[in-house]
Amino acid sequence: MTASAPERLETTSHRIDGHRLHEHRLAVPLDHARPHGGETLEVFAREVVRDGGEDRPRLIWFQGGPGNRANRPESIGGWLDRALEEYRVVLLDQRGTGLSTPADRQTLAEIGDAAAQARYLAHFRADAIVGDAECLRRALGVTRWSVLGQSFGGFIATAYLSAAPASLREVLITAGLPALTGAPDRVYELTFAQTARRNGEFAQRYPQDAATLRDVAAHLRETDERLPSGERLSVRRLLLLGIALGSATGLEGLHYLLEDPFTTVHGSRRLRERFLREVGAKVSFAGNPLYALLHETIYAQGAASEGATRWSAERVRAQLPAFDPDLDAPLLTGEHIFPWQFEEDPALVPLRETAHLLAEREDFPALYDPEVLAHNEVPVAAAVYHDDMFVPRELSLRTAASTRGLRPLITNEYQHDGIRVDGRHLLDRLLTTLRR
């Protein structure tokens, strides 16, 4: 990785709940391979320091995503509370998110046409986020720091281990050990299989809800129902609700959503306004278009991933009849982005051509270095969930075996959001695994 000269760090501070919060802003290169004289972005990070913990080492948190901002702690609890017992914690807003320079419909329109937007967004992947973290580390005067990454944050952590291991004291990963090489099709074959399994669990636990879901799908084929944002709700868009199955409370959440979806209006059966409002909020990418744009690029590594992604999830889904939206009882989909979403979701329609250009790009650089990881000397512990619907355990365990000194914590206790539902306990177990 090319080093850039440290920029001046701007910091403001305030207090919350027995902690001091330092809010850092720093200019970084758009392209870390060309650090001097080119376009710059601003990155934002909020550092949380417990009273009495000023001399503790720093740990940087990489949020899941792509395209999600870091946690906004209104009070201190969960994994953050446990981490602050040993660290100063840096919550980085990954480029394009939060208070870092945003990348959304409004700002991307200022970049230029679709080709210009796609070139710009090519600098918003894990390798660029690692470069931002390195700029921040140097600006803070830190020699080495620890990393905690969840989901996509684990992908960033793995890229960090490949690119700048000398900057790392230790690495902790939850639900985010990526495949080091290989086409994304294999990832989606495995995630669709886990999604089908979770569909089965939902139908077994709530058979009446599965029947209701079939009823709603049949209704949508015959009736024009409009979401609050104005567009017609299609069956295939309804099936996007299945992403909730990957969380600990997802089955119950769907159960409550489907408990009473219909009403009668002037003698006609219609979907309730409440149901349409709740579905609209769950299937819209208005709050995070960057996730939809960049989701498949997190698997793109040029020759190492067999070229362009070319809408891998859509191609894999087409080979799985059980997920066909024209069936009477199609399965819900999971963490999958499809090209038709850029035609049906008003938040994504302006970005349709940009998304297609990213899907067709052949030459994204490799994100991981298997040779460096094979000789890794940084202590690493990674929680791998046996039933993870988003990050296949088979590929995670292969990466664990390929990374020297990595200690996996393999468990079936959690779904993908284990760090959210049991963060204190999970982080404590990871630290114990790392140091045993």
Show which residues are catalytic.
151, 363, 416
At 397 the three-state DSSP class reads helix
Residue with tokens 């991933």: 305
Distance from C-alpha of 408 to C-alpha of 202, rounded to nearest angstrom: 29
Apex CA 268: angle with CA 262 and CA 272, to 5°?
A: 25
Task: Please give the Cα distance from 347 to 66 (Å, whole number).
Answer: 17
Its sign, for the CA torsion 138, 144, 146, 152, is positive
CA 341-343-347 angle, 5° bins: 75
Angle between helices 207-222 and 184-205 (to 10 degrees): 110
Query: Cα–Cα distance between 131 and 35 in angstroms, integer?
Result: 10
β-pair type (58-62, 145-150): parallel
What is the DSSP secondary-structure string of 55-72?
A: TSPEEEEE-SSSSPPPP-
| DSSP line for 214-227 | HHHHHHHHHS--B-
Kindly state the helix (H) or strand (E) to which residue 193 belongs, with its residue range.
helix 184-205
**Euclidean distance between CA atoms 249 and 226, whole angstroms:** 27
* 207: Cβ contacts below 8 Å, ≥ 6 apart: none
- SS3 percent helix, strand, coil of the chain, rounded to 5, is 45, 20, 40
Q: For the purposes of burial, counting CB atoms within 10 Å of the CB of 133, is it exposed (0-12), middle (13-18) or buried (19 or more)?
A: buried
**Do residues 431 and 382 make contact, with C-beta atoms less than 8 angstroms apart?**
no
Cα gap 297→359, rounded to integer Å: 7
Q: Given phi > 0 = left and psi -120 to 50 = alpha, else beta, which region is 96?
A: left
State how beta strands 262-265 and 268-271 pair: antiparallel
* CA torsion, ordered 74, 77, 79, 82, to nearest 10 deg: 130
DSSP, res 315 = H
